Structure 1
Amino acid sequence: MAHPPRRRLMAMGVAALIGVAACGGTSAPPAAAPSTTAQQTAWTWTDDRGKNVSTPRRPQRVVAQSGAAAALWDFGVRPVAVFGPHKLKDGGRDPEVGEVDIATVESIGNVWGEFNVEKYASLQPDLLVAGMYQPNTLWYVPEESATTIDQIAPSVGVQLSGKPLVQIIERYGELAAALGADPQAAPVTEAKARFEAAGAALRTLAAAKPDLKVMVVTGTPESLYVAYLPDHPDLSYFGELGLNMVSPAKPTESEGGFWEVLSWENADKYAADVILVDARAQSMKPAEMAAKPTWAKLPAVKAGQVYPWHAAERYSHLGYAKVMEELKGHLEKARDEVVD
């Protein structure tokens, strides 16, 4: 995944930070509502790094990267704080944080490289949760502060690439249950049923439009990035459902996977009836891409068949049910004869 620019933070002393934590913290709702007995029971979890996490009691004060927080929230866990994209410039909720109520959780960072270590320590966290696009690298945890952060509270990483979409969603569900959420709660089971129905509907549409070619991109002023399907669980899943997804034979080596990088002069390398454009804030918007002559000439663009791709959608049944429902609505009206 293309990384946004980093903003470096100065490392802080471990002893000083742990001392802040010991002095007290900001009150916040628990991660879930387990029984008193459950709270006093030792808790263990083996994360996707193969790291064995053990705490004297089930973690109550969970801090999570925004995407992880959004997934856990849908499964019934209520983090006390989030980091990563969660608040827009106008104060509204960033789509990356899903249904999380940003008015009731603390913020320890909103952009890449921004992680307030001192505030994190003051919250007296029991556990930090983040996804991982690269093995052993917690998303949005600054490398220069990782050692300090790790000494304040244990962490759990969830691998977000190289695994099937459904498996990642289920992994978050298992973690939420381990943290005390009820996997049989009505919102959870209803969301799963909605996910399955949305997938079935998308499969039916794909069968009815086998020639409809769909390409997924993100852009910068310098380059057009074409998604390499095997490294994107959601796009791979859409392919499994039968959608005719355009994908490079291999990614650009410098990207470490995820994308083939094209100059704007070569933006027409792949033919597609529909183009899905990265909807994240750091990606160029279609209106900005319109200034690129090669973009404006693409068949899908001329046909008006450009739609959003929710690249940072949370890995929950509810999140991807909404994604597939929206995608089906767009593809239903798309013409499949735009390219040969």
Structure 2
Amino acid sequence: MPSSTRASQLSRRGLLAAGGVIGIGAALTACGGSDDKKKSGSAAEDSGPWTFTDDRGTKLSTKSTPKNIVAFTGTAAALFDYGIEVKGVFGPTKTADGKADVQAGDMDIAKLTILGNVWGEFNVEKYATLAPDLLVTDMWQKDALWYVPDESKAKILKLAPSAALWAAEVNMAKALQRRADLAKSLGADLTSAKFTDAKAAFEKAAARLRAAAKSKPDIKVLIGSASKDLLYASVPKMSADTLYFQELGVNFVEPKANAQGFFEELSWENADKYKADVIMMDNRSSALQPSALTSKPTWAALPAVKAGQVVPRTTEPIYSYAKCTPILDDLAKAIENAKKVS
């Protein structure tokens, strides 16, 4: 969900608030690749030419299956769940206390080369030393590469092919399928029991959420993200996760979207503009968490807050079936247990 560094894009804070899209910043001198590329530890093996068409419609082609893969942290975490390991990551990976960020999933961040940990950071020189075969990231707006800085984008894209996969404009099921498609092309075994069991569990969780929403159609859910000065109320259809929840029947608050369509900015004085029984709050390290909002009177007075019906939202899901299943189950549980308070 977006924000922009240009008028045509979303604002940085807003973008991060919504869960979406555009890259900014870092610079460097492009270095040439090396013929002596080391294996990244992925499940892929050389098997002749590799091709994959990404969500921009770009057909990628290399002489052999990419091994030296660099990816946005959350995307790398999804590939990891399919047995595909990357050499480097960019995006929220390590918290201030040195622990793994929520977007790192099950990856051992000590084994990763971190090219940038916050918005606007991307060490292109270090990227070049990895001799990358492939760069992978999310896409929240057409052709905008998530966490790839605009200022150094041209230099970055000269070093290796790039694949972009939608995190918006498609639902969660489609986003999951596309990461699975990419993982399969890179050597993942999608016939394994681990994969088929995870997909079955996801489908079971989706059925549970559908049933919960159907049993309590009057429960209204607000999608929120907090900063010091603003509460961002997100539009459900704009992100892959909440679009899917809406398709399953969840009754969401529909805020008045800004020009980009992702969210409405509410001052804390106006935080009670919308009535909600459950509030899903952005769990990313870039957002203020509910425990940091207790001093704000309008937050404390919200019916859902008073009723203890505030739950975390995984705003940028790791799109593997194993990681998305708990998200569905948690929301289903919240709706099953929710009381009408608005």
Judge same fold: TM > 0.5, yes or no: yes
Task: Confirm or deny: 8 A CA contact 1:133 1:159 kept in the other structure.
Answer: yes
Give the letter aligned to residue 235 of structure 1.
T
Matched residue SS, 1:114? coil
How many angstroms does 1:328 deviate by?
2.5
Is 1:329 the counterpart of 2:333? The answer is yes
Is 1:98 the counterpart of 2:105? The answer is yes
Is 1:86 the counterpart of 2:93? The answer is yes
Give the letter aligned to residue 262 of structure 1.
L
Is 1:32 the counterpart of 2:43? The answer is yes
Matched residue SS, 1:158? strand
How many angstroms does 1:146 deviate by?
0.7
**Aligned pairs, how many?**
325
* Bigger mean CA deviation after superposition, 112-121 or 94-103: 94-103
Q: Which one of the candidate residues 194, 202, 227 is aligned to 2:201?
A: 194
**In the aligned structure 2, how far is the partner of 1:219 from the partner of 1:137?**
24
Identity of counterpart residues, as a percentage? 44
**In the aligned structure 1, how far is the partner of 2:269 from the partner of 2:97?**
35
Q: Which one of the candidate residues 139, 143, 150 is aligned to 1:143?
A: 150
**In the aligned structure 2, how far is the partner of 1:8 from the partner of 1:174?**
30
Matched residue SS, 1:260? strand
Aligned counterparts, 1:251-330, within 5 A: 251-253=257-259, 256-330=260-334
Task: Confirm or deny: 8 A CA contact 1:74 1:188 kept in the other structure.
Answer: no
Encode CA deviations 1:137-196: one digit per residue, 9 max, x unaligned.
111111111111111111111121111211111011011111111111222111101101
- Gapped regions of structure 2 (runs ≥ 5): 3-11, 17-22
* Bigger mean CA deviation after superposition, 89-98 or 59-68: 89-98
Matched residue SS, 1:63? strand
**In the aligned structure 2, how far is the partner of 1:143 from the partner of 1:91?**
27
Q: Which one of the candidate residues 8, 13, 22 is aligned to 2:34?
A: 22
Task: Confirm or deny: 8 A CA contact 1:44 1:55 kept in the other structure.
Answer: yes
How many angstroms does 1:101 deviate by?
2.3
Is 1:233 the counterpart of 2:229? The answer is no
Give the letter aligned to residue 267 of structure 1.
A
**C-alpha root-mean-square deviation of aligned residues, in Å?**
1.9
- Gapped regions of structure 1 (runs ≥ 5): none
How many angstroms does 1:327 deviate by?
2.1
**In the aligned structure 2, how far is the partner of 1:28 from the partner of 1:297?**
55
**In the aligned structure 2, how far is the partner of 1:184 from the partner of 1:24?**
32
Aligned counterparts, 1:115-264, within 5 A: 115-248=122-255, 250-253=256-259, 256-264=260-268
Task: Confirm or deny: 8 A CA contact 1:24 1:123 kept in the other structure.
Answer: no
**In the aligned structure 1, how far is the partner of 2:95 from the partner of 2:145?**
23
**In the aligned structure 2, how far is the partner of 1:22 from the partner of 1:241?**
48
How many angstroms does 1:89 deviate by?
2.1
**In the aligned structure 2, how far is the partner of 1:51 from the partner of 1:289?**
43
Encode CA deviations 1:90-127: one digit per residue, 9 max, x unaligned.
22221112122223222212111111111111111100
Name 2:57's counterpart in structure 1: 50
